[in-house]
Amino acid sequence: MSEALKKKAAALDAADELRSRRALFQLGDRDEDVYLDGNSLGALPVHVPARVADVVQRQWGELRIRSWAESGWWDAPQRVGDRIAPLVGAGPGRVVVGDSTSVNVFKAVVAGARLNPGRTEIVVDATTFPTDGYLAASAARLTGCRIVAVDPGELASALGPATAVVLLNHVDFRTGRLHDLPSLTAAIQSVGALAVWDLCHSAGALPVGLDAHGVDLAVGCTYKYLNGGPGSPAYLYVAERHQRAFDSPLPGWHSHVDPFAMAPEHTPADGVARGRVGTPAILSLLALEAALEVWDGVSIDSVRAKSLALTDFFLECAESHVEGGVSGPDSPVSLVTPLAHSERGSQLALRCAKAPVVMERLIERGVVGDLRRPDVLRFGFTPLYTGFADVERAASTLARVLAEVAEDPTA
C-alpha cells in the first residue's frame, strides 16, 4: 500500500495547479523534510530578504526621513491592507495593517461595543485562543459590559437584546474546526449585535467573504498562512458602513485627520485609517508587503480545494500507515478535527496520549508539526508550498514514530 500511496502522491503533485508556487519559498535543502507548521509560522518567500535589504540599506540608510514620502512609508498600512483585502473577501479601503492581533482585537471589541450603546454583554468564544478571552474581558471592564463565554455551537442561546458584540474564531486553533461564519454572523446580527471575527487560522487558507457575508469587524495575523514573517503586523477590517462611527479605544497621531497639526484634541481620519494608532513597524510591514506577492494570480478557491485535498490525503495515508488507523478503537491517535469539509480548516489535530514525545521525535526526523498540551498533535497544511509527497512522508513517519513510542517503556 505504501508504494501505491507514493504513486498517488506523485500523480496528485503532477496535477496540482499551485505546484509552481513551492519554488517561491525557502524550504530547506533536504527533500525528506516536511514543514507542517505553517499554521504557526509560514515559510519565508525567497525574494523577501533582498527586499528587506533594500528597505534597510537604501530607504532607511540613504533616503532616511524622506522615505516616509518617497518610499511610501506613510501610506503602507492602507496599501498593504488592500493587498490582504482580496484574500479575506474585502473591498479596497476596508483593511488596515498595523499593531498585533491582540491590539486589533481590543480595538475591534471596544469599538464594536461603542457602536452598540446601551447594551451590556460581550459574548466571547469559550474555546478561543486565550489572549482573545483576556482582551474581551478587558474590553468589558472598559465599556461597563459583562462577559458571556459560550461554545460557538451554543451561541444562539447566549444572544439577546443585551448583546453588544460577539467575538468568535473562524477556525479553532486547537482542533482545526471551521465555524460557519455566514450563519453565525446572521444570527448575531438578527438580535442587533455586531460580529467580530478572528481570522488568524483561516486567512490565506480558505475563502472568508467578509463583505459578502456582512461581517462588521474582523482581525487577523499575517505570519501564518500569509507568510509575513515572525511578529509581522496584524490587520483590522472595518465594514464600510461602520467606518464613520468607528471609535477606536487607542487613538493615535497616525489616525488623526491631520497628523502633523499636532493638535491637542483627536479628530479621527476618514475611513479605515481610523484603525491606525502610532508609527508602524516599517521593516516588518514592508517585509509583509513583499511576502504577499506570492499571492499574485492565485485564486483563494484553488487554495481551498488543495487544502481539503491535502488533509483528505493525509487521513488516507494515516489510515493506511498507522496501526489501527486514526479512528479505530485500537489506534494510538484519534482525530479531533471534523471530517466534514464544511467544518474543517487547513489543519488536522490528533489526540495522542504521548503527544509531547511523539512530536519531539517527528521533528527530529524532519517532520515539523506542533503540539498543544497536553495531548494534541497539530499539522498545518499550507497549499502554496505543501505537496502531496510531503503528506505521504509525514504520515508514514508518524506511523513509525507511534510504533517506536509504543515499544519504548521510557517514552
Residue numbers annotated as active site: 129, 198, 223-224, 378
**DSSP assignment of 161-220, as one string?**
TTEEEEEEESB-TTT-BBP-HHHHHHHHHHTT-EEEEE-TTTTTTS---TTTTT--EEEE
What is the enclosing helix (H) or strand (E) of 238? Answer: strand 235-238
Rounded CA gap, 54 and 45, in Å? 16
Interior angle at CA 137, CA 131 and CA 139, nearest 5: 100
Residue 216 CB-density burial (10 A; 0-12 exposed, 13-18 middle, 19+ buried):
buried
Backbone angles phi, psi at 163, to 5 degrees: -70, 120
Peptide bond into 374 cis (omega under 30): yes
Rounded CA gap, 185 and 151, in Å? 15
118: left (phi over 0), alpha (psi -120 to 50) or beta: left
Q: In DSSP terms, which residues pair with 177 in a beta bridge?
A: 344
Q: With b meaning 16 or more CB within 10 Å and e meaning fewer, what string describes 335-351?
A: bbbeeeeebbbbbbbbb
The DSSP code for 265 is: S
Rounded CA gap, 182 and 88, in Å? 13
* Closest residue by Cα to residue 255 from 110, 99, 67, 132: 99
Q: Say if strands 163-169 and 194-198 run parallel, antiparallel, or are unpaired.
A: parallel
Rg (CA), the chain: 22
Residue 113 CB-density burial (10 A; 0-12 exposed, 13-18 middle, 19+ buried):
buried
